[in-house]
Amino acid sequence: MAAPVPEFPAGFLWGVSASAFQIEGSLTADGRGPSSWDAFTGERGRVKDGSHAEVATDHYRRYREDVALMAELGVGAYRFSVSWSRVLPEGHGRVNDKGLDFYDRLVDELCASGIAPVPTLFHWDTPLALEERGGWLDRDTAERFAEYASVVAERLADRVPMWITINEPAEVTLLGYGLGEHAPGRRLVFDALPAAHHQLLAHGMGVQALRAAGARRIGIAVSHSPVWTAGDSDDDRAAAALYDTLTNRLFADPLLTGDYPDGLAELLPGPVAEDLKTISAPLDWYGINYYNPMLVGAPQPAADASATDAAAEAASAEAGIVDSRAGSSFGGIDIPADLPFAIRQIEGRELTDFGWPVVPEGLRELLATLRERYGDRLPPLYITENGCSYGDGPDPGTGRIDDARRVAYHDGHVRALHEAMEEGADVRGYFIWSILDNFEWAEGYRQRFGLVHVDYETLARTPKESYAWYRDLIKSGR
């Protein structure tokens, strides 16, 4: 970290991100309706530390203090999400003005502080009324989303310079409907695929609704990971390619090329060819959430294990794979052993407290891959999330929070981003996940991603060293 971060183009947008359910709390205030996550956190055993988000960071009531922290940080933009069920408690129909008023106040506060508000319309908290009717498995939810998008845009479009329809449809599909680790807790494995199609369709219909309501600069936030092949057999390569198709291309291809990757369209419901026209309507920009690459190989059948134990272990050790027979894990979540691919631990890298490997050059690789795949079809890019979980608390003596590992993480990723831009990637902004420590979904409060520490007893906010580092970076224009 000795050398300063290289200079970024003038006008490069530095921002921070968060989402409604993870920070707001006040879940029954002012007529908010319940969401899929209210229900999920209420089920025993779903959230690992047994916590819920009724208070979270209390941002609903403390948003002025939080905007002041962002102003002091000097960010040009704040990416937040709108809680669908605050605005439409039943998911459609009756509009709850008081819920909408909150975002109106937030947007005003941001504008008054010189921070561009960047709302995401859906960041995982489906209105429970819609979830109970099938949620994203039901095509109707896409129509309801478009209705909701109009309502929000009619109120906020005059002050919002950049919009995001949906955050990480891949995670909702895989974790929510495929593996049951997130709301709504369904474990449908490959039968979860309609949830991907309907979110993409919602995005496309949402774009139309937003444009009709006068919204400008519309994008989406898609999670992307470079996929590395574990092993060198054809089976390993096929497994890694399949994983890449299901997590990266399943979302980027229809959005950017108007087609699903080979063979997938046949597995999806409804008039898919027609829907693809809606899904691929031109975007003003494309958002990328990057955390780490994934190392993927062929599954190793448990039956082989006893016979070839030693040989398998030796082979894996050579390939840098540890415990090849253990069930795969995705972000610490055990995934079924009978899937046609297995996720391996990337070795030799620092791990965050979440166990995710720190691979800054993965961001550069990812941007190169996207350019190879989509070329001129790529609109301007923004990194809409990048961040790490480290649980550093205040030093008991000084009260300071020295999160040097988070500083090193962001320093590394910002440099990798700069290199990618020198190679030609058209990236216009970088948003850190997250401004505050917050409710980290199935992990509860035990993973901390914030530049600002939150004491969950007093709700006091304490900027960490990484906050000071980011402030200096933004100030120096580097």
Q: 135: phi > 0 → left, psi -120 to 50 → alpha, else beta; which?
A: left
DSSP assignment string, 87-126: HSTTSSSS--HHHHHHHHHHHHHHHHTT-EEEEEEESS--
38 binds ligand GBH (CB under 6 A): no
Q: Which is nearer to ligand GBH, 150 or 386 (CB)?
A: 386
CA angle 157, 158, 162 (to 5 degrees): 50
Comparison of 275 and 437: residue with beta carbon closer to ligand GBH: 437
Using CB under 6 A as the binding criterion, the count of chain residues that bind ligand GBH stands at 18
Q: Does 356 participate in binding ligand GBH (rule CB under 6 A)?
A: yes
User: Pairing state of beta strands 381-385 and 427-433?
Assistant: parallel
Q: Judged by CB under 6 A, does residue 440 bind ligand GBH?
A: yes
Give the list of residues 6+ apart from residue 271 with CB closer than 8 angstroms, or none: none
The residue among 92 and 203 lying less far from ligand GBH, judged by its C-beta, is 203
Which helix H or strand E contains 65, and what residues bound it? helix 59-73
291: contact with ligand GBH by CB under 6 A: yes
**Residue of 131, 385, 440, 443 marked catalytic:** 385
Residue 330 interacts with ligand GBH (CB under 6 A): yes or no: yes
**Minimum distance from residue 2 beta carbon to ligand GBH (Å):** 29
Contacts of 319 (CB under 8 A, 6+ apart): 230, 231, 232
Amino acid at 307: A
Q: What is the DSSP string of 271-323?
A: -HHHHHHHHTSPPS-EEEE----EEEE----HHHHHHHHHHHHHHHHHHT-S-
Binding pattern to ligand GBH, positions 213-242, x when CB under 6 A?
----------x-------------------
Least Å from the CB of residue 252 to ligand GBH: 15
Work out whether 292 is an interface residue with ligand GBH (CB under 6 A).
yes
CA–CA distances in Å: residue 266 to residues 195, 243, 260: 15, 18, 9
24, 109, 131, 168: the active-site residue: 168
Name the residue among 401, 404, 390, 472 with its Cα closest to residue 434. 390
Active site residue 7: no
Q: Which range of residues in 83-91, 166-174, 207-215, 408-416 is near ligand GBH by CB under 6 A?
A: 166-174
User: Strand 218-223 to strand 286-289: parallel, antiparallel, or no bridges (unpaired)?
Assistant: parallel
Contact between residue 251 and residue 120 where contact means Cβ atoms under 8 Å apart: no
Cα distance between residue 64 and residue 60, in whole Å: 9
Binding of ligand GBH at residue 165 (CB under 6 A)? no
Q: With respect to ligand GBH, which residue has the nearer C-beta, 52 or 139? A: 52
| Binding segment toward ligand GBH, per CB under 6 A, in 158-166, 288-296, 369-377, 451-459 | 288-296
> d(Cα 15, Cα 470) in Å, to the nearest integer?
10
Is 385 an active-site residue? yes
CB of 453 to ligand GBH, least distance (A): 16
Task: Give the nearest distance from C-beta 450 to ligand GBH in angstroms.
Answer: 10
Q: Which is nearer to ligand GBH, 15 or 92 (CB)?
A: 15
Q: How do 13-17 and 461-463 pair as beta strands?
A: unpaired
Among positions 94-133, residues that touch ligand GBH (CB under 6 A) are none
- The reply on whether position 24 binds ligand GBH by CB under 6 A is no
Locate tokens 């198709």: which residue?
Answer: 245
Distance CA 336, CA 156 (A): 43
Q: Which stretch binds ligand GBH (CB under 6 A): 165-173, 233-241, 268-276, 372-380?
A: 165-173
Residue nearest to ligand GBH (CB): 331
C-beta neighbour count of 269 within 10 angstroms: 13
Q: Which is nearer to ligand GBH, 151 or 202 (CB)?
A: 202
Using CB under 6 A, which of the segments 24-32, 101-109, 284-292, 421-429 binds ligand GBH?
A: 284-292
Using CB under 6 A as the binding rule, whether residue 243 contacts ligand GBH is answered as no
By CB under 6 A, is residue 355 in contact with ligand GBH?
yes
Residues 459-478 that bind ligand GBH (CB under 6 A): none
- Of the candidates 156, 188, 155, the one whose C-alpha atom is nearest the C-alpha of residue 173 is 188
- What is the binding site for ligand GBH (CB under 6 A)? 19, 167-168, 171, 223, 289, 291-292, 294, 330-331, 343, 355-356, 385, 433, 440, 449
Mind telling me the catalytic residues?
Answer: 168, 385
